[in-house]
Structure 1
Amino acid sequence: MFAAIASGNPLQLSTEVPNSNGLQHTIVLSSTKPKSYSHITLFILPNVTFPDNFIATVYFKLSPNEDFKIFGYLGNEKPSAIFKVKLPSAASLGQPPSGYGDGLGEIDMDDNIGGMGDSSNHNISELIIGISIEPRDQGMMKINEWKAEQQASKSSSSSLVLSRPGMQGNVLTVGQLATAYPKLTQELAAKIVQHAYNYLSGFLDAAGNVSIKRFDTWWDKFKTRLANDGTFLDEVTSS
């Protein structure tokens, strides 16, 4: 009834779950190449007639032992959806303290709402898609509640709020961050300095100086890239 394609991998059909009171179909992306794709396309098969008063709510989880998390829906008006998969670097998997980092990174629906993270060291090839066919009103109520939660999460994400076992309260300032995670803060500072050095060293004049305008250009580019994908810092090395 449904199928999914992870970019660069073969199409995989859904399997019906017998005697299920919840998810009636699952797709296990077990034969995919780990960490080798960036998008998953999920769709209703062309020969399937889907009733207008029903939708298929879509869920994800990373292993059989985890709970499914809702991430969108399919229906007659939306027979397919593209999910963007953003993986963290290998260095971040399982390394940060509890509460830090995402095992999967994130999965976004094609309407750019949503994201999933997990602190365990999971392999993307373990991704399991669950699909539940349910009355439209009931399903859309779940979708709308989920979207409201995602929007609320985004609106509160402008402040850095972290917690650490044994600490009182949350980490809200860079000074508190440095106190809570001194080694990680030192590594972050070193990466930023090294990134600046790598960029500016290409503009040295005969006296070994660099125009301040070059620094301003680096800073503007750095802030933009950091906002788009901070994981690039994991790849910064001495040149």
Structure 2
Amino acid sequence: MFGCVVAGRPLQTNLQQVDETHALFELPNASTINHICVFLLGTVSFPEGYGATVHFHWPEKGFQLLGMLSNDKPSAIFRLRGTFTPGASAGPTAFAGGVNLAAGGDVTAILGIAIEPLSQIAPALPDPGSANANGAVVVTTRTADPGYLAEQIVKHLLNFISSFVGDGTVNENTLVPMSAVVRWYEGFKTKLKNMGPGFLDRATD
């Protein structure tokens, strides 16, 4: 039902069902995570009147409520770097106990998802797009859709390449040096690392 992507990493498929209303993803090498995207896969919808809260659990620091998902809001991107407040929330007890040290000494954290009535979720959340009481920034984006994401990446590349063409028109006969493509790729990776995939919604160059 749920998908999870850490910026710069492959789609995670290690969802663990804890019980009927709780599930979690283990996040290895958590100290390097900047942004994370959580989304509904589209195969199963929430029951009428229900949604899910999304929680981040860091070893010895407790839980932090990041935001929520619903049938009307099937995806969200959360910025984790520099936003975690130790002990910010007790969090659902169903997620506790699964956090450990990964190989090499880095931390494996938990992203917990709890299905709850919307009437209980709404009062705990900030206004959409603002920083919540725990300091986490919640940003919704269409880039959770793989098809949309692929289209925006191609558009981003074509816009960059068009700057090397006299009239700005790119077609099958346009010759572009590989050095230009490499330059675009390096810049793209930097933006993705610093801002997450949401920058593609705003990018024009």
TM-score range, shorter chain: 0.3 to 0.5
Question: Larger strand proportion, structure 1 or 2?
Answer: 2
Highest CA radius of gyration, 1 or 2?
A: 1
